[in-house]
Amino acid sequence: MKFNSDEIAAVIQKEIETFGSQVDVREVGTVLEVGDGIARVYGLSNVMSGEMVEFPNGAIGLAFNLEEQSVGVIILGDYLNIHEGDEVKALGTLLSVPAGDAVIGRVLDPLGNPLDGKGPVNATVTRPVEIIATGVAERQPVHEPMQTGIKAIDAMTPIGRGQRELIIGDRKTGKTAVAIDAIINQKGKGVKCFYVAIGQKDSSVALVIDALTKAGAMDYTTVIVSGASAPAPLQYVAPYAGTAMAEHFMFNGGHALIVYDDLSKQAVAYRQLSLLMRRPPGREAFPGDVFYCHSRLLERSAKLSKELGGGSLTSLPIIETLEGEVSAYIPTNVISITDGQIYLQPDLFFAGIRPAMNVGISVSRVGGNAQIKAMKKVAGGLRLDLAAFRELEAFAQLGTELDPATQAKLDRGYRMVELLKQSQYQPMDIAEQIISIYAGTRGHLDDIPVTKVRDFEVGLLTYVRDRKPELLTKIRDVADLTTEIEEMIKSAIASFKASFK
């Protein structure tokens, strides 16, 4: 076997030339202490805030606190196999998650790892978890409706594409049900939906996924789960990760809807991390920047300007109150960031009024801009009427004699309350909502017994669907309450009423 000296010389020459580029220069530190999802690391002198670091067991951490002698790192994953003295590498990148069509229909953790057993996520796009929200000049006002399919909400506190509408109430008052109805109602409307479960029981999340699957909503929905057993760092990162996935569609001219269920649990996780990192506590032991934690998240929901493609991201943050305490720290913070709130009240819920929306406190700061003209005309005075009805009802309980006009108002109020009740996971089409609310607000139900109002509504809508489908089509197409459409609705109600027993 002969050696060719020229060949050997050429190989050595090439190795010498490329030698410098092969050296892997990485900043390396050592774990000083670890526990409760955080680690203190010595030696990462050039690490940046929010930069990713890697531990020997493959777990990823985020540089959270930059101190004089050490770096506080929050560990996104298993921290039980990390020990004092372990070597930590700075990766020089920011945390990113997979995005695009590959994540749709999947159940993922906040880092984009699959939890549904359907194999890896083959995403070609990734997006950084934290970005600065679009500025004022890049946005346009909210003007397109984002219908939830819930009569009470679409009529009185309408939500528009690009809006942030808070759902707030005590536990077990139907907050998640409202959000899930809104997701189910986006079927066939080209809106990608994201449901972020933060600190929820795994059983509750499984029920939500089951409801979405049965309704056929998982075809356009992504569920991001950071359950009650997940470490605090993952619960803290989850909403940002979900938003990054949703933003991909907004920036590509599409429309997305994201539900954060719920942000009070994220605030508690953030408080835990901050106290472990020895950041000074403020009101209710939350750190001083917990407002910024939520504002930088919710400001990323927007309706982009036409130059940027006109995409939108609508968010429905959920906040749980304790004993109806709306003036606690986190609820007041989030109320001041969002464009309105839907307040669900326990006593209404237990009285069988579901959704248990308190009309007096619930508002939408976008208002009629997020409604089609037909709904605006039909439900214009509904809010005030219902709020007045609640006052009258309290007054009538005193047993005083009422004049006929007041009695008539009360009677209509009882019928409207009955009419606005709606079963869970059964969102209604906007055209059907308009017919239903028209029948109530224009007095067509005044002679129907209160107990029969729901039956009348179901019968009326079935009648219109079967016998007068052109009326529904016309309402959807025209989206306004013209004289012609109004006459058609009146005649449909009259002809059905004649046969209603």
The per-residue pLDDT for range 182-193, each reduced to its tens digit, is 999 999 999 999
Domain co-membership, 59 together with 111: no
Residue 390: pLDDT over 90: no
Among 306, 338, 371, which residue terminates a domain? 371
Q: Give the pLDDT confidence of 336-347 residue by residue, as tens digits.
A: 999 999 999 999
Taking the model in full, what pTM does it have?
0.92
Domain co-membership, 294 together with 423: no
pLDDT at 209: 97
Residue 292: pLDDT over 80: yes
- Does a structural domain hold residue 260? yes
> What number is the average pLDDT over the span 29-41?
95
Q: Give the pLDDT confidence of 309-365 residue by residue, as tens digits.
A: 999 999 999 999 999 999 999 999 999 999 999 999 999 999 999 999 999 889 999
DSSP string, 370-391: GS-HHHHHHHTTHHHHHHHHHH
pLDDT at 391: 86
Q: Give the pLDDT confidence of 395-443 residue by residue, as tens digits.
A: 888 777 788 888 888 999 999 999 999 999 999 999 999 999 999 999 9
**How many other C-beta atoms lie within 10 A of the C-beta of residue 425?**
16
- Does a structural domain hold residue 477? yes
CATH number at residue 59: 2.40.30.20
Structural domain boundaries, residue 78: 22-93
**Which residue shows structure tokens 């609820």?**
331
Preceding omega of 355 cis (within 30 degrees of 0): yes
Domain co-membership, 148 together with 256: yes
Structural domain total, the chain: 3
Domain co-membership, 367 together with 393: no
pLDDT at 434: 96
- How does the average pLDDT of the chain come out, rounded? 93
Domain co-membership, 217 together with 310: yes
- Does a structural domain hold residue 11? no
- Does a structural domain hold residue 185? yes
Among 371, 399, 429, which residue terminates a domain? 371
> What number is the average pLDDT over the span 13-31?
75
> 139, 279, 365, 454: which one is catalytic?
365
Residue 365 designated active-site: yes
Domain co-membership, 441 together with 471: yes
Indicate the helix (H) or strand (E) that contains 146: none
Distance, in Å, from the CA atom of 144 to the CA atom of 191, rounded to the nearest integer, reads 13
**How many other C-beta atoms lie within 10 A of the C-beta of residue 501?**
5
- Does a structural domain hold residue 12? no
More confident residue, 71 or 398: 71
Domain co-membership, 420 together with 350: no
- Does a structural domain hold residue 252? yes
Q: Give the pLDDT confidence of 199-233 residue by residue, as tens digits.
A: 999 999 999 999 999 999 999 999 999 999 999 99
Helices 469-478 & 453-467, crossing angle to 10 degrees?
90
Domain co-membership, 33 together with 172: no
Domain co-membership, 349 together with 212: yes
- Does a structural domain hold residue 16? no
pLDDT at 23: 54
Alpha helices in 215-356 (DSSP H): 232-251, 263-276, 290-298, 329-337, 346-350
- Does a structural domain hold residue 312? yes
> What number is the average pLDDT over the span 42-49?
92
Domain co-membership, 152 together with 240: yes
Domain co-membership, 465 together with 490: yes
CATH number at residue 307: 3.40.50.300
CATH number at residue 427: 1.20.150.20
Q: Give the pLDDT confidence of 123-149 residue by residue, as tens digits.
A: 999 999 999 999 999 999 999 999 999
The answer to whether the CB of 164 falls within 8 A of the CB of 337 is yes
pLDDT at 447: 92
Task: Give the SS3 label for residue 260.
Answer: strand
Among 371, 396, 424, which residue terminates a domain? 371
Domain co-membership, 203 together with 318: yes
